Amino acid sequence: MPDNVRGKNQGPGKPAKPADRRPAAARGLTYRDAGVDIDAKMRAINRIKLIARGTFGKGVLTDIGSFGGLFDLTTAGAFRHPVLVSSADGVGTKLKIAFLTGNHRTVGMDLVNHCINDILVQGAAPLFFLDYIAMGKVDPQVIIDLATGLARACRESGCALIGGETAEMPDFYKPGEYDVAGFIVGVVDRDKVIDGSRIAAGDILIGLPSTGLHTNGYSLARKIFFEKRNFRPDTRVPELGRTVADELLAVHRAYLQPLRGLLATGALYGMAHITGGGFTDNIPRILPRGVSARIDVGSWPVLPVFSYMKDAGRIGDEEMFRTFNMGIGMILVVPMHREAEVRAHLDKQGEKHYRIGEIVVGNRRVIYAAGTAASS
């Protein structure tokens, strides 16, 4: 479907025409004969409209179903020089766990939260979100489950689910499988943009804990759990204290709420969202020339799932830190003279945090060193 906001094919309240049940030879070919069921899609979209409206704030000027979503930027707050920040992402092969379990309620939350974190690192708060869902044959309940997760995460972060696209693509996807992608737009005042340019040797690295794998490293994780260990999704793993499915479907958390009050203070010189590429590839993305990041390994509690996978897969430290978040989903770069202020704010928010390293003179890379026992 070429349109970029779902539901344009039919006006609000216009009933779908009853299907012609005559043989194709008698009535001529239809889209349904080619594998696309527009009526099933529209039934799902009508439910999604109700779900999405629950995320609308005063800035949303159009309902789901318009050709484009309109948002009034003047409602976003008082900005001297507003800058829009956008990002797009997917959930990766974490979707395979949803397919195996039939649980499609959390991957929508993963998608929204991942995108929120990606614009948060530049100091932006989200305004609105759009999604793209594609599958071989429309399953209305799966679409509704996905949309429910999208809407829940949007509501929790004050972000409007303003539109999207649902594409039925016969022969592109295996039965029961689909893909989903998200697109987010946020805003930040130009003089409050966090771009890493102020980072200097001596600054402190503060790590905020993840809830698990988040949305990265799943191809390796699936190989360990389902091939090497030959587990099923419902296998309970004593070392993890829960089933494989519960561990691997743990929701990718958003860090907006605990950090919102710090964004405009100037206390955050940089932030790194630890996604694909782990520590090794994500931290250098925010470093200016002339510095590196020293990570004090052992200075935070590594989640059991990472220790388990390391042992089960006989994975080296270098590979672990370049594939997984190792229990730290967001890293803050803070000047030493403002560390106490930032940590006091996080304490007030009830957010666990760990001093995990320091900025040192170097050439924009990550240096791993032996650290001390974790302390928040």
Identity of the amino acid at 14: K
pLDDT per residue as tens digits for the range 249-305:
999 999 999 999 999 999 999 999 999 999 999 999 999 999 999 999 999 999 999
Total-model pTM: 0.89
Q: Which residues contact 226 (CB under 8 A, 6 or more apart)?
A: 232, 244
pLDDT over 80 at 140, yes or no = yes
User: Is the predicted pLDDT of residue 2 greater than 50, yes or no?
Assistant: no
Residue type, 169: M
Task: Look at residue 28 and tell me whether its pLDDT is greater than 80.
Answer: no
Q: Which residues contact 328 (CB under 8 A, 6 or more apart)?
A: 207, 208, 209, 210, 274, 279, 300, 354, 356
pLDDT digits (tens, 9 = 90+) for 224-235: 999 999 999 999
Please give the average per-residue pLDDT across 3-19, as a whole number. Answer: 47
Answer whether residue 15 shows pLDDT above 70.
no
What pLDDT shows up at residue 239? Answer: 96
Tokens of 21: 């049940």
Q: Does an H or E element contain 209, and which?
A: strand 204-209
- CA separation for the pair 31, 44 (Å, rounded): 18
47: exposed, middle or buried (Cβ count in 10 Å: 0-12, 13-18, 19+): middle
User: Distances in Å between the alpha carbon of 341 and those of 135, 200, 338, 346?
Assistant: 48, 18, 5, 9
Bridge-based pairing of strands 178-189 and 291-297 is unpaired
Contact of 178 with 133, CB cutoff 8 Å: yes
**Hey, which residues does 126 pair with through a beta bridge?**
186
| CA atoms of 124 and 260, how far apart (whole Å) | 9
How far is 344 from 95, CA to CA, in rounded Å? Answer: 38
d(CA 373, CA 225): 29
Residue 13: the pLDDT is 45
pLDDT value, residue 31: 66
Report which DSSP code applies to 304. Answer: H
